[in-house]
Amino acid sequence: MIKIKIAVCIKQVPGTTEIKIDPETNTLVRQGIENIVNPFDTYAVEEAVSLKERLEADESFGEEVEVAVISMGPPQAEEILKEAIAVGADKAILLSDRAFAGADTWATAATLSMALEKLGDVKLIIFGKQTLDGDTGQVGPELAHKMNIPFIGYVSAVEEISNKNIKVKRLAEENYEIIEVRMPAAISVGKDINNPRVPSLRGKMKAKKEEIPVWTVKELEADPEEVGLAGSYTQVVKIFTPRIVHDVKMIEGTPEEMVEELFGNLKELNVV
């Protein structure tokens, strides 16, 4: 029996939208902030698991489907891979090596594509549409470019899937688009695509026992110049919070005078 693979690329992010930056070191303050799976990635995992269930329930399809989840990050990113196992992913791989540190979106896409090639026979790659921390939404399209496969962003429904093609619906500015591409292909998804499930007891017990393989530069047979900081075209040289200066001006006089002056001030500021 042929086995088709669906891969999901996920990332561990700080569990907050209010990121604080240490003004001394210009780095993210990670203390006291719990790491979570990037929220959009939970929809990507759910979509992969429900596609697996959908395909395996279809007798005309007749193939086994394997959901593999991949994350690049520090050793503690293993936690989010275990969470993916608990909700039904078949296997997980952690890409972790000091050489991967400092990667921009391009070097991340390069590393992920090497892992996907090592995995082999991947028909569909699913991403969350963007991350909570980096927010770029670039890794998916860059990876598709590197692997020379089609990419469809912001998918809101998988209309049809066979072992050759995938037909998806996505919301454009003012209309829905239905797009069909051959596989292998990559897609990114947002919150409108599904309703992620709660982990099962069997899943949690499997996740607890699961030994998650760690792939380093060695396993990927990667050229160290193509990954991490060395493989990055961009580099964050400084992160800072803009200083917000509050300027208060008290306006006095009769209501008419105050309105007149306020209107004049707003006009000067080009607000009205």
Task: Give residues 192-211 in contact with another protein (rule: CB under 8 A).
Answer: 197-205, 208
| 30 interacts with another protein by CB under 8 A | no
d(CA 85, CA 187): 21
Closest to another protein by CB, 67 or 227: 67
Contact 156, 169 (CB under 8 A): yes
d(CA 60, CA 268): 70
Closest to another protein by CB, 172 or 201: 201
| 267 interacts with another protein by CB under 8 A | no
Closest to another protein by CB, 205 or 230: 205
| 237 interacts with another protein by CB under 8 A | no
Closest CA to 52 of 171, 163, 195: 163
Least Cβ distance, residue 250 to another protein (angstroms): 30
* Cα–Cα separations (whole angstroms), residue 271 to 248, 260, 268: 16, 15, 8
Closest to another protein by CB, 145 or 197: 197
| 57 interacts with another protein by CB under 8 A | no
Annotate 92-119 with b (16+ C-beta within 10 A) or e (fewer): bbbbbbebbeebbbbbbbbbbbbbbeeb
Closest to another protein by CB, 202 or 267: 202
| 236 interacts with another protein by CB under 8 A | no
Least Cβ distance, residue 156 to another protein (angstroms): 20
The size of the interface with another protein (CB under 8 A), counted in residues, is 10
| 3 interacts with another protein by CB under 8 A | no
Interhelix angle for 201-209 vs 78-86, to 10°? 140
Residues whose CB falls within 8 Å of the CB of residue 82, separated by 6 or more in sequence, listed in order: 92, 207, 208, 210, 212
Task: Give residues 152-171 in contact with another protein (rule: CB under 8 A).
Answer: none
| 54 interacts with another protein by CB under 8 A | no
Closest to another protein by CB, 169 or 204: 204
CA atoms within 13 A on the CB side of 126: 30
Residues in the chain: 272
Binding footprint of another protein on the chain (CB under 8 A): 197-205, 208
